[in-house]
Structure formats: structure tokens, C-alpha cells
Structure 1
Amino acid sequence: MSDPNITGKTYDTHLLRRMMRYVKPYRGIFAISVVLTIVMAVVAPALPMVIEYTLDRFILQNDIDGLQLMLMIMLGLLVVQTVIRYFHTLMTSTLGQSVIRDLRIDVFNHITGLRLKYFDRTPIGRLITRTISDLETIANIFSEGLIQIIGDILQLVVILGVMFYTDWKLTLVVLIPMPLMIGATYVFKEAMKSAFQDVRKWVSNLNTFLQEHISGISIIQYFAREEQEMHTFKAANAEHRNAHIRANWYFSIFFPVIEVIMAIALGLLVWYGSKQVLAGMLSPGVIVAFIMYINMIFRPIRELVDKFNTLQMGMVSAERIFAVLDTDEQTPNTGTQKPSVIRGDIVFDNVWFAYDEDKWVLKDISFHVKPGETLALVGATGAGKSSTINILSRFYEVNQGAILLDGVDIRQYELNYLRRTIATVLQDVFLFSDTVANNIGLNDPAITREQIVQAAKQVGAHDFIMRLPGGYDYEVQERGATLSSGQAQLISFIRALVHDPKILVLDEATSSVDTETEGLIQRAIDTLMKDRTSIVIAHRLSTIQKADKIIVLDKGEMKEMGSHQELLRIDGYYRRLYELQFHSAGI
């Protein structure tokens, strides 16, 4: 992933073009927003012009009837401007939210398709920031940024045109402080750019910190690290606060400076305009109109800075989001084969694999599992057991060699088809904040409640589920916190079975459950492994004695291979491990 602290540009044509692709489905809303922006700019000077006309033609002439008519016209203009502004805000907000809805879907789909290797080195909190808060910032580009900037610039052009048309000399006098305004605006913009970059950086850092520490709250409490982690959080939170304070400090300086410059412009207007009025060369109505014009010029310029900062923040967020979308770490899904029948014949042919280049986790692994056979993998932690099943499902790609399924390289199968063929039960069970039934069926409409219940009965978990409040509709808390480890493991096992896999993978599936629950799972395993190719990883050798083939791995290398009895006859690693486990158990 790219640097999380990308600075970006205030205006990036390439990024803007990419964002505009998401606007295409909403051309109508975009067109209406642009038209309303133009109308608002054109209508803006209408009220001062009407007031000027009213003052000179009716108030100074003491024409009460005409004054009443002009007051009605002014009221009508205010109503029209309010209605236009309402629909403009509605359209731009709708456009922004529609764009980020589609963009968020693309980001989520892209993230869920990335290889596990990407998540190994990317903090989840950073991805949450990209998907949530950074996308909200992009919405502001459309609702408060780009279109508004165009509207303000257009309004400035229209008002300046009207002012020059009305009295070009008075306009030039009023614009004398403008270089000061432009200079102050540029300095402020650059300062705010730096401040907002820091704000975005610390938002990302805080999200990452919170996600990691809330997920690992048990470890923090087990080791009584609450106070130390609080100090760390306070430091990060203080940096976030300081970045915001610095941004607000710039605002607190900039706006008073602008007010002073505007006061100078008003002073020049009064000084020069009064002399012109007294000389009979200018009407009082023009002075009143110009007072309003000055506010209408300085207000957009003042707000332009804030909107440029909104645009800047949006560009920074867009660059970060497109950096995620441009991450080319998805598992290639170029395979097309989706045979109607899979026998489950698995061959590892001289497979080499490394998470990091040249740090081999698996070294020249070769074995053959025939359809319906059970292969067991044993070895110490870090021997390469889990890596073997990870590359079988193509969560990671092999560096050398090939893996064949029914004689076909697994890379030639359509990726989703391949993964649906393999059901995996992991030691570390993950359950979603959802019902038991949805955790089992994963909201697959093809899986019926009857199939879920039948699979639960096969596992022997139906009775415990029915004892839960609501049964299969019981709401499981995040990661199954309200269930025992054995119950959570049973649910994950049912989840694998209900999808009717051709290949069953059990990764330490019984290592974290009690003896009674293990007995339930073991009985289900014996039934479900029939006519299925199975790969079992287990520290408990008692669970794999019936395996057709056992492979002993050590530091990524195959040390021994054979049945339980064959390996016991060899005075090797497996026999020593067996004797160690069963002697320590008093067997």
C-alpha cells in the first residue's frame, strides 16, 4: 500500500477524471447542479441592483406606491434565491452521496478480493479509514467543494462585471486592497494544507490504534497494560487535537485579516463615493449597492479558501482511496474451468513457497492424496502445515512447482469455484455479529434452513443450538464472544459441512474444545470424511490415527510420510512425538 500520509495536490486533473467516472451514472443530477450554480451566480447581483434602483427612483423621490411594488419584487427575489439554493444544496449532496456509495462498493469489493499477504502488512484500521472517513471527505468535493468553487468564481465574475458596468472608477478604488486579500488567501491556503494533512494522518493513526487495541482488549487486560496503552493513546490523541487546533488557529487569524481588508475596501468606498455623491456625479443608490457588492465579493473569496481546503482534503483522500484500488495484489482469477464434478484428487508437485522472497516456508513438497483419502499433516509450530492448506485454496501463490486438482493446475480453475470446492475449519473461529443460522449459511440463498438444521444434527450440535434463546435465530455477538470456544467451533464446523465440500480441511479444528465437544466433532468427522478428500492438521495425534497418509513436516521440509502404523515402525520424528504425547497422558 502507498504511504498513508500522501500529501496530494489541491487540484489533480488525473484524480478528478477518475472521480468523474463515478459521476457518469448521475449525469442528470450533475447537470442540474451545474445549471443551478450558474443561475445562482447570475441572480446574485439582482438584489443590490433592485435596491439601488429603489433608493434612487422611489425612496429619494418619495414614491410610496412604487416603493411598495419594489419591496414585493425584492421579497420575490429572496424567495427565488432561497428556493434555488435549497435545490442546489439538495442536488450537490445527493450527487456526492451517490458517488461515494458506488465508490465505497468498489473499494469494499476490491479489498475483499486482495490476497491475505496484503492484510499481513496493512493495518485494518487504515483500511477502515479509507472506506469510511476518507470517502466522506470525497463526498464534500461535490457538495461543498468543486461545484461550489465554480459557482463562487462565476459569481465573482458576474458581480465584478456589473460593478465595472455601473462605475468602473469606483470599482477600481474598491479593489485597491485586493492584492492584500490574494496574498493572505495564498498564505492561509498553504498553511491549512499542511494542517489538514496532519489531521488526516492522525485520524488514520487513531483508527488503526483503536481497531488493534479493541480487538486485542483481552491481551491488554490479561497483562494489565491498560495504563500504558492509555498513555500511548493520549499521546496520539493529543497529536490529533494539536493538528485540529493548529487548523483552527489559522482560521482565527485569517478571518479577522479578511474583515480588516474588507473594512479598508468599505472605507475607500465611503471616502471616494461620498465625494462623488456630493459632486453630483454619483447617486446614493450606487453607494448602497456597492456596499452589498463588496460583501458579495469578499464573502466568496473568503469561503473559496475553505472550499479549496475541502477540495484539497478530498484530493488527498481520493489519492489514498485510489491507491487502494490500484493495489495490484488480488489473486489472479484468469482460470475458467468449472467442471460439474470434482473427484478430489490432490497432487503437490515439487512445491516451493515463501511469504517473503527467499525465506522458504515450504521446500520441494510433493505428495498425492487420492479421492476419498485422508491426509494428516503434523509438525512443530512453523513447520509449514497451515501454509500448505493456504496455498491449496490460493490465498497465497506458490513460488515454484504446481498443485493439481483432478490433474488440472488449480490456477486454471475459476477462483470462486475452487474455493467453494474446499471447506475449511480453522482453530481460530470467526463468527459475525449475526444469527446462528446466518453464521452457518453465510446468507447464501441457496442454503435452506432445513439444510442448516440437518448439518447441525449430523454434527450433534442441534440440541445446544435449540437451547440458545431464539435457537437458530440467536444473535451471536462479535467473534462469538457469548459462546464457549467449543460451541463456536461446532458452528464453524456446521458452516463447512452445509456447503457440501468435495475437499474438507481441518486446521487444528479440535485443539481448543473440551473432551465432550471433541467427541461430538470426531464422530461427525468420521461420517463426513467418507467419500471426501480430507486434509487434517492436528497437534493431537489421537485425532489422525485413522488417516490414510500422514506427512511429518519440519521447517518446511517433508521428513516422513506413511500411515500411523508405518510411521510408528520408523524410529523417527513421528514416533518420538507420539510417545511424548501418550506417555505424558499416562497411556
Structure 2
Amino acid sequence: MNRHASVRVGRRLVQYAGHARGAIVAALILLVLSVAAQLAGPFVAKTIINRDIEGVQQVWYRAPAGAPGAVRVDGQLYVRGDKLPHGAPRQQPHTLMTLGTTAYFLPGTVEAIAAGSRPGEIREEVAGHWRTIPAHPISRAQMFAFYRPELPNVIRLALLYFALLAASAVFLYGQQYLLQVSANRILQRMRRDVFHRIHCLPISYFDNTPAGKIVSRITNDTESIRDFYVNVLANVLSSAVTMFGIYVALFILNVDLALLACALLPILFLWIWLYRRYTVQVNLRVRALISEINAMLNETIQGMPIIRAFNREARTAAEFNEMNQAYYDGQTRLLRINSATGYNLAGVLRNLFFAAIIAWFGWRSLHLEPIVSLGVLYAFVDYLNRLFQPLTQVVNQLATLEQARASAARVFELLDEPGVEPEYGAIPRFRGEVEFDHVWFSYDGVHPVLSDITFTAQPGQTVALVGHTGSGKSSIMNLLFRFYDPDRGAIRIDGRDIREIPPQQLRQHMAIVLQDPYLFTGTIAWNVGLGDPRVSRERIEKALRDVGADRLLRNLPGGIDEPVLEGGSTLSAGERQLISFARALAFDPAILVLDEATANVDSETERIIQDALQVLKRGRTTFIIAHRLSTIRDADLILVLDQGEIVERGTHDELMALGARYRQMYELQTKALGVTG
């Protein structure tokens, strides 16, 4: 997938996301609130450390009785310098300092202390000069007294910290729920669009595309796109907002530290670029292989009787294993790339940055430059840890992102297939006059299958099409139903060119009975009426009676409500054929096409079907494609085709009297039947 195509796919994914923009915007708002609540935590912790824990280690001054926050030491009250009332005198300064786990309350303003050369001594720095003094540590109880006034603040801030965590969890739940709902809504619309597009595509598309590949695009590929909206979109948006918030917080904390963390950004962009470069084509190939595997499975299941009859199990298994191995190899390659660029690489980067921070602090300490406070350092390390979480999430979603983009490209390719939007609406019932006027047609635009076909069928007439396989009989019916349009010439019904009539309206008053009729999963009654509200239960029952199907179906436990499996596999060929006859009769077409309707039935069922044919043909123009010439002796017009041309035409008696091709075909069949009989 080139860059332009990738951008186009991404744009269309965003357009589909626009159908759920309200929920997505609400989710983004909740996401921002959740991230803000999460990132406020380290600032609260920094305040506790700097003000209420580390903050007690500063200069204390003599305080008057009743001063808030005062601490009694050796009978005197002292208060922190930052809490001394404004304008109050600063008397008898003392400095609270710690050395390891030992605390000292030293007179004067002390800048730093260090261990002395002998036990019981310490060194203190005052005004830039070091001196050794006797050590007088304070007790643990006395040390705790300095912290006691800070406890209410610590408790309030701790409660605030947990409240922020709880609020963040609530906002995060709402954000994830809304994104899940949005993703399902988007996928619902996408599947609806794909299914609608299938009904707009020309029959030639289905002739050239295996059903399994189409099914794979509607199921597997759209499910992969769902992962994009649910996982990738959620995680990438969450990670982007979180990273942005973390960088804002880092710059508020310390500009130098934030600039150091900014070095992650070019590494992340390079990371993504390299990953996409090495995985795009692999992902496209993997998605294509899934489609091919589905197509092969569909074909294998449908052709299982042939596979077993001709002992093709081993060869079919070998072909499947070859395809399955190619899919395994592609997935393994993706796995190697993902393992190399996933969590482990993020861990390496995190450790490198921690090492850089330690080196930076060490260098500042060796050069005696000012170092950030302990609270700032804690907050920075916390933010840096949090920064690698969204970074790892983004990288871990790259595989899902590329799979989704590959699947989206295949789905959008199907949606972009040229088709004709259905135009529904009622039109008056045809009288049934059908005219082919110098019609030429080819499937590939090069080799004609019909050449200068011209004939007229009057309303109510029966027209039979005969000829050897490949002579063009079925192609004429494909043109009549507008499954294809002729290259030259015109087809008219009641004097009107059928290209001026929307296909859905054209077929309202037409019906077809195929040689191997297709039945849908449901019941016999549903297969006759096809769920059309215009076809009542009484009409269905009458149609079945009129074609004689009640005699064959009466022994079924459920009668006409007997369940039918996919394709009608539990019914005989004759039963399926009679149901298809009843279906055609129930819709009362003006034009009926019978495509070798008696080719696959036994003699007894054929007699029933012949009676049904007389009922079906009554009052409508009928086209019969037949190999058994004995079934069309009563046809009003017989067209004999050879290599796409009409070579003879007339009634049965006229063609027999002509003594040409039709008579040869008829006598050959009659002789064959006589021999077998």
C-alpha cells in the first residue's frame, strides 16, 4: 500500500468515525478529565513531600504562646519560618536537619551538615564555612513532634490523591464505554454499507470473485477494523492525550528535565516509521491469505461429494496446508517484528533515560550546581514512568493498526466497486411482449457469445431455446433479466427498452426456475413466499397445490412448515424443483423463464412437473431452455442456437419438416430414449 493509498484509507476511517462523532467527542472529554485527574496525583505527592515532609527541615523561629503550628523544644515554642506570621519578629533561629536517620535541632541558620571525624561530632556549614560542633541529636518522639502539625495537611492531600484516582477511574470507564459503543455503531454502519453494496454489484462481480473472499471481507476484515476503533483508536487517543499532559506537567516542574524527556519524541516517530516500512506489505499479504483460506474452505465444503468421489482429499489437504503454511510464515514474521519492537524495546529506552537522569543529577552534584527538590525529583520520575506506559501502548497497537488498515483497504475496495443503486417502486404489469433486436453480447468484450440475435415473443406465447452447451441459451436469459446489458442492439418489453427500466422494477413481473434451484435456510412456506408481505399464506398454499407439490410434500412431518437447510440439501431434486415452481407461481410473473427445469428429475416427478408447467405457463410469456426436446413440442416458437447465432426458428412441426439441425437433434434423442427403454 503506497503512501497516498494509506492516507486515503486513513481519511475514510476517520469519515466513518464521524457517524459517531457525538459519542467520540464525549469520550474524548472524559479522557481529558481522566488524564488530568491522573496527572494531578504527582503534583499532590510533590506538595506533600516538599511542604509537609521535607519542608520541616528548615529554619524555625521562637514563637509566642498560642501560635498555630508551634512545636515545643526544651520548654520553648518554635514555628516554621514559612509559617511565621507576617511582620512577626524572627527570634532565636534554629535549623532542623537530618543526617541519615538522625535529626538535629541546631542553633542559627545552618545550610548543610555532614558526619564528623569522631563519634558525637558533626560538621555544619554556616555562611559558606564549615565547623565541627558536638552532636546533640533529638529523640524520635521530638522529631515526630515537628511532623505532627503537618499531619492534617498530609491526610487532606492523601484523600485528595485517592479522590483523583477514583475520579480518573470513573472518567476512564465512561470513556472506554463510549468508545466501545461508538466502535460497534461504526461497524454496524460499515457492515450495512458493505451488504448494501453487494446488492448493487453486477452479476459479473460474483462470477469472477469466490464467495469465500466476499464473506471474509464482510466478517474478518470488518472485525479487524472494529479492533482499530476499539483498541487502536482508544489506546492511541488515550496515549496521545496522556503524553501531551505529561509533557505539560514536566515543563511546569522543570524545563531542563522536560527537554531531556523530549528526546523520546523523535525516537518514537522513527520507531513507528521503521515498523510500518517492514510490516505494511506483510499485513496486506496476511489479510489476503485469510480471504483465500476462507474461499477455499467454502469451495471445499460445497464440493465435498466431488472431492470424496474422486479421492481428492489428500490433494485438497496439500493445497490447504500450503496456503496455511504461507499464512503461518507471514504471522511468524509479524511476530518477530512485534517482539523486537514491543515491550522489550520500551524497557530498554526507559532504562536508558533513567541512566541519563542519574548521570545528569550526578554531574550537577559534582559541580555543586543547584539541584531540584526531592518532591520535584519524585514527581519527575513518576511522570517518566507514566510516559513509557502510553509509549508502549502506542507501539503495541502498531500491529493492530496495520492489520486494520490492510483490512480497511480491502473493505473500501469492495465499497468502491462500480454498481447500480437499487430503484424500487411499482410499475404496471407487463403484457409480455419481448423483442430482441439485433443483439450482440460478449462477457469479456472480445469474444462474442451472442451474434445478431433477433426474435419477438408475443404475449402469452411459449418460446423454447435449444442448442448444444455453449450455444448462448442462458446468455439470452441473462440479458433479459438485465444481469448483463448487450454490447449492441436492444431488448424491449412491450416496446420499451429494458435499459430504461431499473432492474429491480423490471424483475417485479419476471420469474425464473433454474435447473438446480436454490433454497434458503427457513421453511418450505418461507421459500415460496420469500418473506414478501404481498404473498399471503393462502397464496403460498394454493401455489403449492397448483404445481402438485402437495403430493410430494404431504409426507413431511412439518408439511409446508418443514425446516429447510441451506440449499435444500434435505429435499430431493424433484421436491426442490416443485418448490421453485410454486415460488414462481406465487409471485404471478408476466414473463417466466424455465432454465432446463426438468433436467435433473426422474420420470415420475417429470410428469408432475409437466402438469405444473401447464399451470405455470397459463396467461404469461414463457421462455424454456431445454435439452429434452420432447418437453417443448407444444412451444409456439422454437429457436435453435449454434455458437451464439439463431440457425433455425419455427414450431416443432415446421422444424421437423425442415429436416435440418433440429430434426437431427430430436431424432437422436428419440433413438437414444428408445434404446434405453
TM-score (norm 1): 0.93
Tell whether 2:303 aligns with 1:191. Answer: no
| Counterpart position of 1:443 | 531
What does 1:127-276 correspond to in 2, within 5 Å?
127-146=214-233, 148-174=235-261, 180=267, 182-254=269-341, 255-273=343-361
Equivalence for 2:391? 301
Question: 2:608: which partner in 1?
Answer: 520
Residue 476 (structure 1) aligns with: 564
Matching residue of 1:53: 47
Change (3 A) 1:8 1:451: farther
CA contact (8 A) 1:331 1:395 kept: no
Q: Equivalent of 1:410, from 482, 494, 498?
A: 498
Task: Measure the CA separation in 1 of the matches of 2:398 and 2:665.
Answer: 67
Q: CA deviation at 1:9?
A: 4.4
**1:262-283 per-position Cα deviation (integer Å, ceiling 9, x unaligned):** 0111223344347768977322
Structure 2 letter corresponding to 1:297: L
Shift of 1:13: 4.7
Give, in angstroms, the shift of residue 302 of structure 1: 2.3
- Alignment-mate amino acid for residue 27 of structure 1: R
Change (3 A) 1:468 1:343: same
Separation (CA, whole Å) in 1 of partners of 2:237 and 2:19 = 21
Contact 1:354 1:399 in 2 (8 A): yes
Give the 3 Å change call, closer, same or farther, for CA 112–68 of structure 1 in structure 2: same
Q: Deviations over 1:481-505 (max 9, x none)?
A: 1111111111111111111111111
Confirm or deny: 8 A CA contact 1:337 1:414 kept in the other structure.
no
Specify the alignment match of 1:354 in structure 2.
442
Q: Which residue number corresponds to residue 325 of structure 1?
A: 415
1:87 aligns with 2:81: no
What is the distance in 2 between the residues matched to 1:174 and 1:344? Answer: 80
CA deviations on 1:107-157 (whole Å, 9 max, x unpaired) are 111112211111121122221122112222222333223454344223222
* Deviation, structure 1 residue 582: 0.9
Q: Are positions 1:40 and 2:34 aligned together?
A: yes
The corresponding residue for 1:4 is: none
1:286 partner amino acid = V
| 1:9 and 1:312 in contact (8 A); partners too | no
Deviates more, 1:506-515 or 1:173-182: 173-182
Aligned letter for 1:195?
A: V
Q: Aligned runs of 1:409-428 on 2, under 5 Å? A: 409-428=497-516
Distance 1:186-1:360 versus aligned 2 partners, 3 A rule: closer
Query: Which SS does the other structure have where 2:21 is aligned?
Result: helix
Q: Distance in 2 between matches of 1:178 and 1:110?
A: 42
Matching of residue 530 in structure 1 with residue 618 in structure 2 = yes
Deviates more, 1:310-319 or 1:406-415: 310-319
Equivalent residue number for residue 507 of structure 1 = 595
1:402 Cα offset (Å): 0.7
Question: Do 2:438 and 2:488's aligned partners in 1 also have CA atoms closer than 8 Å?
Answer: yes
Q: What are the within-5 Å matches in structure 2 for residues 348-387 of structure 1?
A: 348-387=436-475
Q: What is the CA-CA distance between 1:42 and the residue it aligns to? A: 3.0
d(CA) in 2 for partners of 1:315, 1:170: 37
Aligned position for 2:206: 119
Tell which deviates more after alignment, 203-212 or 500-509.
203-212
Residue of structure 2 equivalent to 1:287: 377
Identity %: 36
Secondary structure of the equivalent of 1:45? helix
Q: Deviations over 1:181-237 (max 9, x none)?
A: 554443234333343223212212212221222222222111111111111111111
- Are the aligned partners of 1:40 and 1:151 in contact in 2 as well (CA < 8 Å)? no
Pair 1:546-2:634 in alignment: yes
Structure 1 range deviating more: 462-471 or 70-79: 462-471
Q: Quick one: distance in 2 between partners of 1:96 and 1:352?
A: 49
Matched, 1:570 2:658: yes
Q: Report what 1:98 is aligned to.
A: 185
- Given that 1:476 and 1:482 are in contact with CA atoms closer than 8 Å, whether structure 2 keeps it comes out as yes
Q: Distance in 2 between matches of 1:360 and 1:273?
A: 83
Take 1:471 and 1:34, find their aligned partners in 2: how far apart are those partners?
57
Secondary structure (helix, strand or coil) at the match of 2:397 reads helix
Distance 1:124 1:158 in 2: 49
Deviation at 1:416, TM superposition (A): 1.1
Distance 1:59 1:72, change over 3 A: same
Query: Closer, same or farther in 2 for the Cα pair 1:430/1:201, shift >3 Å?
Result: same
Q: Match of 2:528, SS? A: helix
Bigger Cα displacement from structure 2, 56-65 vs 515-524: 56-65
Range 372-381 or range 457-466, more displaced = 457-466
Evaluate the alpha carbon distance shift between residue 364 and residue 333 of structure 1 in structure 2; reply closer, same or farther with a 3 A threshold.
farther
Distance 1:10 1:348, change over 3 A: closer
Shift, 1:468, TM fit: 2.0
- Structure 1 runs, 4 residues or longer, greater than 6 Å off: 274-280
- Do the aligned residues in 2 keep the contact of 1:424 with 1:496 (CA within 8 Å)? yes
Are the aligned partners of 2:276 and 2:402 in contact in 1 as well (CA < 8 Å)?
no
The one of the two structures with greater contact order (alpha-carbon pairs below 8 A, sep at least 6) is 1
Instruction: Decide which moves more: 19-28 or 506-515.
Output: 19-28
Which of residues 531, 542, 556 is equivalent to 2:644? 556
What is the CA–CA distance in structure 2 between the aligned matches of 1:128 and 1:350, rounded to whole Å?
A: 39
Aligned to 1:28: 22
**Secondary structure of residue in 2 paired with 1:356:** coil
Q: 1:308 & 1:560 partners in 2: Cα distance?
A: 67
Query: What's the offset of the Cα at 1:585?
Result: 1.3
Distance 1:339 1:177, change over 3 A: closer
Paired with 1:177 and 1:504, the residues of 2 have a C-alpha distance of: 72
What is the DSSP-based 3-state SS (H/G/I as helix, E as strand, rest coil) of the residue aligned with 1:37?
A: helix
Paired residue secondary structure (1:525): helix
Of 471, 496, 501, which residue of structure 1 is paired with 2:584?
Answer: 496
Q: CA RMSD in A?
A: 2.4
Show structure 1 runs of 5+ residues with no match: 1-6
Change (3 A) 1:47 1:420: same
Give the partner amino acid of 1:348. Answer: F
Query: Of Structure 1 and Structure 2, which has the larger fraction of its residues in strand?
Result: 2
- Consecutive unaligned residues in structure 2, runs of 5 or more: 57-146
Cα distance between partner residues in 1 of 2:385 and 2:455: 81
Per-residue CA deviation, residues 238-279 of structure 1 (Å, 9 max, x unaligned), is 111222222121222222122111011122334434776897
CA distance in 2, matches of 1:181, 1:347: 69
Q: Aligned with 2:451: secondary structure?
A: strand
Cα displacement (A) at 1:553: 0.6
Instruction: Give the counterpart letter for 1:40 in structure 2.
Output: S
1:410 offset after TM fit, Å?
Answer: 1.0
- In structure 1, which of residues 471, 476, 485 is the aligned counterpart of residue 573 of structure 2? 485
Residue type of the alignment partner of 1:80: A
Q: 69-78 vs 532-541, which deviates more?
A: 69-78
Aligned residue type for 2:33: V
